[in-house]
């Protein structure tokens, strides 16, 4: 009998110890810390798996049973357990007597099939990558159409020696936005991922080597991906016939002719009467609209998503917690022009050590360690300290005080057993995530927000009275202490309103353009809905969240549009939600441009399209102050000295483009050219 994955970790591990010996044992790692395991038993053409991850108070947990045909293709596959946020998983596929059927959170179906097709599991484990690769490596084309859709491909990219054994790194494409790199030994046994997130226990000492190789492969892919996408100009670039969004007034001016040279806006002239000049590159905006580059105030950057941000018109981001070494390297690569990406403002994540710790950033086991980490971040120029869930309540004020002494700001979650009012009064500059604020109005004393409760308790907001003393006391404190809110409302929409088998409103407008793996992941639930009443409570609670956005904006609280995501599209949805909440589109755009830069102290050279400022802006066809969704149709992006065509970027990334590229007319004659 399969073991229930709903047992606590200790009980779960103890129960597994009574089972027959496992064939293979793997460790799940985040940074240098173990956050889970995968145990596999293979015998008689079948496999049993137990998969457990607990990272930041969440993670998938499931039991699997797979039966293979002689070619290694699954003909039966059952997965039971829970998804990352605890929603029940009961997935299966079966091929029998020429009929294939499947059911997952995302989809279900049945087809006639004389031979078993290859099924891509929805809620599985990294071990599945080995299954797919072993099937593909025996095909001449190493490519195969799969169920429920799409095409998988496998390519051997490097042979390495690990612990004296020859192994092959395979690149698997077609599953997601970027290919996966996995390691198989000479017998086709799955050893782990080249990124080091999972590795066989027998080869754990080789993780650093696999991590290095994986980073090199990813960098080589990115170098190839980036080639030729940046359009640079050895003379002035003039964008003609363009209306301009002005965040100072939240209105539209123009039409203008806007000139850029060496990454700086040098001229803004009325279009009427602006003469053509020799030596200029010219883009005819055809009456379109230039918008200052958007700023996402909550991301966790990696090298893979820089292009996604730029293609969406996101030219600046605030990184809210990352591996410092990797973030420093990425910032150097972007600043030098080696890699395309947005301008990055780094925040240093500071987490307390506990069973619920997140592994981004740096962990402290004592107050002294926490204060030393604050000093480490400060001397490296970080903008803020980001306090996280497991920081001990008694440490919060000393951390804030030390940050203030060193001239560094404070952002973050409200740690468990601390109230938002305490964080606000203690000296936070902004609170990260609107639920971290609202939980202070719905939680009972002693409830632990290091668990998924920080999501599920939001259902209580269905009954929340925003006019109550409890709420208004917090709002008054935010206003008096000039504390902002990093909203990430779209994350809460995705988590609270996603339903199995359906696309939520959160992804409409871009999901149809995405690879099938991305589409499928967006048709899963994140909270457990047992009754229609459960569904209605989450929907009513989300409306309260939108009402909270409108109330805070009306009270003069600065909203910082952030997403906690990495593909750019979510920021478009975040701004749509602001407008849905009742904030005018022009004011919403001002919050995502100039107001964000004012918060970061960079508004003297970023945030608006003005002479002398850096040339960070994007071009769309329609007026975003009348229809905020017009920002989805980006045709051209300027980020300093380089211009980008989103259509070209998306084509490289396997995404169907949203807008048509502009035409750039090169100069026929330049001053100084020979006659």
* Tens digits of residue pLDDT in 512-523: 888 878 888 888
Segment 135-144 mean pLDDT: 93
Within 406-531, residue ranges assigned H as helices are 420-426, 434-442, 453-456, 469-480, 489-497, 516-521
414, 431 in Cβ contact below 8 A? yes
- Asked if 537 and 442 touch (Cβ cutoff 8 Å), the reply is no
Which conformational region is residue 42 in: left (phi greater than 0), alpha (psi within -120 to 50 degrees), or beta? beta
Structure confidence at residue 669 (pLDDT) = 63
pLDDT, residue 233, reads 95
Q: Among residues of the chain, what percentage have pLDDT more than 70?
A: 96
The arithmetic mean of pLDDT across residues 360-385, rounded, is: 95
- Rounded mean pLDDT of 251-257? 95
638: nearest Cα among 657, 615, 660:
615
Asked if residue 66 lies in contact with residue 77, where contact means CB atoms within 8 angstroms, the answer is yes
Instruction: State what percent of residues in the chain have pLDDT above 90.
Output: 74
532-554 helix and 569-580 helix, angle to the nearest 10 degrees: 80
Burial bucket for residue 110 (CB in 10 Å: 0-12, 13-18, 19+):
exposed
Helix axes of 434-442 and 489-497: crossing angle, nearest 10 degrees: 60
Q: Which long-range contacts (CB under 8 A, 24 or more apart) does 221-230 make?
A: 221/178, 221/179, 222/303, 222/304, 222/339, 225/307, 225/652, 225/653, 226/307, 226/339, 226/340, 229/307, 229/340, 229/644, 229/645, 229/648, 229/649, 229/652, 230/337, 230/340, 230/642, 230/643, 230/644
Q: Phi/psi of residue 587, each to 5°? A: -65, -35
Task: Choose the weakest-confidence range: 77-91, 287-301, 608-622.
Answer: 77-91
Q: What is the pLDDT of residue 11?
A: 37
Structure confidence at residue 581 as a pLDDT band (50, 70, 90): very high
* pLDDT value at residue 671: 52
Q: What is the pLDDT of residues 484-536, one digit of tens each?
A: 999 999 999 999 998 888 888 888 888 888 887 888 888 888 888 889 999 99
Predicted local confidence at residue 527, as pLDDT? 85
Measure the CA–CA gap between 132 and 523, rounded to whole angstroms. 22
Rounded mean pLDDT, 41-61: 92
> Torsion angle of alpha carbons 174, 180, 185, 189, nearest 10°?
-60
Least confidently predicted of 161-165, 534-538, 598-602: 161-165
| pLDDT for position 15 | 37
Alpha-carbon span 670 to 281, nearest angstrom: 10
Among 1-10, 573-582, 623-632, 663-672, the least confident range: 1-10
User: 386 pairs with which residues across the strands?
Assistant: 349, 411
pLDDT of residue 12: 36
* CB-CB contact of 373 with 335 (8 Å): no
Instruction: Render pLDDT for 645-657 as a digit per residue (tens, 0 to 9).
Output: 999 999 988 888 9
pLDDT greater than 90 at residue 231: yes
Residue 566 has what pLDDT?
Answer: 86
CA pair distance 619, 605, nearest whole angstrom: 19
pLDDT at 139 over 90: yes
φ, ψ of residue 391 in degrees (nearest 5): -65, 130
Contact 408, 383 (CB under 8 A): yes
For the chain, list the domains and their CATH numbers.
1-124 (no CATH), 126-131+138-227 (no CATH), 233-293+607-675 (2.30.40.10), 294-606 (3.20.20.140)
Of the candidates 649, 455, 648, 464, which has an alpha carbon nearest to the alpha carbon of residue 546?
464
Q: Which residues have CB under 8 Å from 472's CB, separation 6+?
A: none
395-399, 478-482, 667-671: segment of lowest average pLDDT: 667-671
Which residue in 397, 356, 280, 315 sits closest to 664, CA to CA?
Answer: 280
Res 7 pLDDT > 60? no
The arithmetic mean of pLDDT across residues 528-556, rounded, is: 95
Q: How far apart are CA 303 and CA 341, in angstroms?
A: 8
Residue 3 has a pLDDT of 28
For residues 174 and 153, the answer to whether their CB atoms sit within 8 Å is: yes
Distances (CA, A) of 258 to 25, 276, 342, 477, 665: 61, 12, 22, 43, 15
The distance from CA 496 to its chain's CA centroid, rounded to whole angstroms, is 17
Q: What residues contact residue 100 under an 8 Å CB cut-off, 6+ apart? A: 93, 94, 110, 111, 112, 113, 116, 117, 119, 147
Q: Judge whether residue 9 has pLDDT over 80.
A: no
592: Cβ–Cβ under 8 A, 6 or more apart, which residues? 294, 295, 561, 571, 575
Instruction: Please give the Cα distance from 46 to 65 (Å, whole number).
Output: 7
Average pLDDT for 5-19 = 37
pLDDT in the model for residue 584: 98
Segment 57-72 mean pLDDT: 93
Is 4 strand, coil or helix?
coil
Confidence of residue 468 (pLDDT cuts 50, 70, 90): very high
Q: What is the mean pLDDT of residues 193-217?
A: 88
Structure confidence at residue 205 (pLDDT): 87
Q: 359 falls in which pLDDT band (50, 70, 90)?
A: confident
Provide CB contacts within 8 A for 75, sequence distance 6+.
67, 68, 69, 94, 95, 96, 116
For residue 325, the SS3 value is helix
Question: Does 544 have pLDDT greater than 50?
Answer: yes
Q: With cut-offs at 50, 70 and 90, classify the pLDDT of residue 580.
A: very high
pLDDT category of residue 614 using cuts at 50, 70 and 90: very high
In tens, the pLDDT along 375-431 reads 999 999 999 999 999 999 999 999 999 999 999 999 999 999 999 999 999 999 999
- Average pLDDT estimate for 354-371: 90
For 208-212, 434-438, 633-637, which range has the lowest pLDDT when averaged over its residues?
A: 208-212
């Amino acid at each position: 009998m399969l073991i229930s994955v709903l047992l606590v970790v200790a009980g779960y591990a103890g129960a597994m110890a009574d089972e027959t010996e496992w064939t293979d044992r793997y460790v799940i790692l985040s940074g240098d810390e173990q956050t889970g395991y995968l145990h596999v038993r293979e015998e008689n053409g079948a496999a049993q798996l137990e998969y457990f991850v607990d990272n930041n108070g969440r993670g998938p947990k499931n039991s699997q049973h797979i039966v293979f045909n002689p070619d290694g293709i699954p003909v039966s596959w059952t997965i039971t357990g829970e998804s990352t946020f605890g929603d029940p998983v009961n997935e299966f596929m079966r091929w029998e007597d020429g009929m294939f059927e499947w059911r997952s959170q995302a989809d279900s179906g049945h087809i006639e099939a004389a031979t078993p097709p290859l099924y891509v599991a929805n809620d599985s484990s990294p071990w599945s990558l080995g299954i797919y690769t072993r099937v593909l490596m025996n095909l001449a084309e190493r490519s195969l159409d799969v169920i429920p859709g799409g095409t998988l491909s496998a390519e051997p990219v490097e042979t390495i020696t690990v612990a004296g054994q020859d192994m092959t790194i395979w690149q698997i494409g077609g599953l997601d936005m970027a290919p996966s790199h996995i390691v198989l030994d000479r017998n086709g046994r799955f050893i782990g991922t080249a990124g080091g997130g999972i590795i066989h226990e027998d080869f754990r000492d080789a993780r650093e080597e696999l991590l290095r190789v994986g980073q090199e492969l990813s960098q080589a892919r990115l170098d190839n991906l980036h080639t030729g996408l940046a359009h640079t100009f050895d003379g002035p670039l003039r964008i003609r016939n363009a209306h301009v969004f002005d965040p100072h007034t939240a209105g539209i001016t123009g039409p203008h002719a806007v000139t850029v040279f060496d990454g700086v806006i040098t001229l803004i002239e009325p279009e009427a009467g602006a003469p053509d000049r020799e030596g200029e590159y010219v883009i005819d905006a055809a009456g379109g609209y230039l918008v200052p580059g958007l700023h996402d105030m909550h991301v966790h950057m990696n090298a893979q998503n820089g292009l996604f941000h730029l293609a969406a018109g996101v030219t600046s981001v605030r990184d809210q917690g990352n591996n410092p070494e990797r973030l420093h390297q990425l910032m150097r690569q972007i600043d030098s022009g080696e890699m395309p990406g947005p301008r990055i403002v780094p925040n240093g994540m500071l987490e307390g050590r506990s069973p619920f710790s997140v592994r981004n950033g740096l962990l402290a086991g004592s107050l002294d360690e926490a204060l030393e980490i604050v000093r480490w971040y400060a001397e490296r120029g970080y903008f803020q300290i980001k306090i996280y869930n497991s920081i001990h309540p008694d440490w919060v004020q000393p951390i804030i005080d030390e940050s203030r002494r060193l001239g560094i700001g404070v952002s973050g979650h409200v740690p468990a057993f601390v109230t938002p009012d305490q964080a606000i009064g203690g000296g936070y500059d902004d609170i990260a995530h609107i639920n971290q604020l609202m939980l202070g109005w719905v939680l009972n004393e002693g409830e632990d927000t290091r668990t998924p409760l920080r999501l599920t308790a939001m259902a209580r907001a269905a009954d929340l009275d925003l006019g109550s003393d409890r709420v208004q006391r917090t709002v008054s404190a935010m206003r008096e202490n000039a504390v902002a809110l990093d909203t990430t409302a779209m994350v809460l929409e995705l988590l609270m309103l996603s339903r199995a088998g359906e696309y939520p409103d959160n992804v409409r407008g871009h999901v149809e353009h995405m690879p099938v793996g991305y589409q499928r992941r967006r048709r899963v639930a994140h909270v457990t809905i047992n009754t229609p009443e459960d569904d209605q409570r989450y929907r009513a609670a989300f409306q309260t969240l939108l009402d909270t956005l409108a109330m805070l904006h009306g009270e003069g609280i600065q909203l910082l549009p952030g997403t906690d995501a990495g593909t750019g599209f979510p920021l478009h949805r975040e701004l749509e939600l602001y407008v849905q909440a009742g904030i005018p589109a022009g004011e919403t755009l001002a919050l995502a441009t100039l107001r964000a830069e004012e918060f970061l102290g960079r508004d003297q050279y970023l945030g608006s399209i003005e002479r002398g400022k850096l040339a960070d802006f994007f071009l769309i066809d329609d007026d975003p102050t009348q229809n905020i969704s017009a920002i989805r149709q980006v045709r051209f992006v300027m980020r300093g000295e380089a211009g980008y065509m989103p259509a070209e970027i998306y084509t490289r990334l396997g995404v169907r483009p949203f807008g048509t590229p502009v035409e750039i007319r090169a100069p026929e004659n330049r001053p100084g050219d020979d006659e």
